[in-house]
Amino acid sequence: MNKVVRSADEALNDVANGMTLLIGGFGLCGIPENCIAALVKKGVTDLTCISNNAGVDDFGIGLMLAQKQVKKMVSSYVGENAEFERQMLSGELEVELIPQGTLATRAMAAGYGMPVIYTPAGVGTEVAIGKETRDFDGKTYLMEYAFKADFALVKAWKGDTQGNLIFRATSRNFNPLMAMAGKYTIAEVEELVPAGELDPDHIHTPGIYVNCIFQGKDYEKRIEQRTVNLKI
């Protein structure tokens, strides 16, 4: 049951060109910094990345975009990355923008083993082009497929050797959903403890969803937009 590996490099050993990755985090909060750095070092290309956002120019998924490692981004918010914008407008990057709730629920559905979901979000918009709709109780819903991803990369505050995870504050955003949805889930944690040390009532993601875990290091934890209120 010990799922510990020594490093991000070891955890990502089987990630190859052309794969689809679910990447946890919200903005720059709770992103798997060590895994992203290892992917940049590894140099894999033609990746499809499913993430709430695309990082910023010099951090997060933005580092992978700068190295032209991402073929397609599936996201709900991408407004903080100039390189992303340049690649999208030039046709270098394929982009699928979807409502944030739909993104979350498609990940959840994958974790639950559900093939599709029905949602009213996107009905009557460009999001619905080419997709099946159904009416329930007089209201139209859009059919969306659950995500299919080769790997999920998530970051937690604390985890144990069996892969049980606790997320802290706002980092409990897309990470638990992404952890459920990957065929193979890699978790990096700030603090790694022996099995049995975590309070079961505090665990957000049970180890059954996690395939390997490692203790990360050198977290920057950047803030996208820092707002300071000065009293004069």
Tens digit of each residue's pLDDT (9 = 90 or more) over 78-116 = 878 889 999 999 999 999 999 999 999 999 999 999 999
CA angle 36/40/45 to nearest 5° reads 110
Instruction: Please tell me the predicted confidence (pLDDT) of residue 71.
Output: 97
Which domains does the chain show, CATH number per domain? 8-215 (3.40.1080.10)
Instruction: Please tell me the predicted confidence (pLDDT) of residue 232.
Output: 64
Round to whole Å and give the CA distance between 60 and 75: 14
The model's pTM is: 0.92
Q: Which long-range contacts (CB under 8 A, 24 or more apart) does 222-227 make?
A: 222/28, 222/56, 222/59, 223/28, 224/27, 224/28, 224/56, 224/80, 225/80
Tens digit of each residue's pLDDT (9 = 90 or more) over 192-218 = 999 999 999 999 999 999 999 999 998
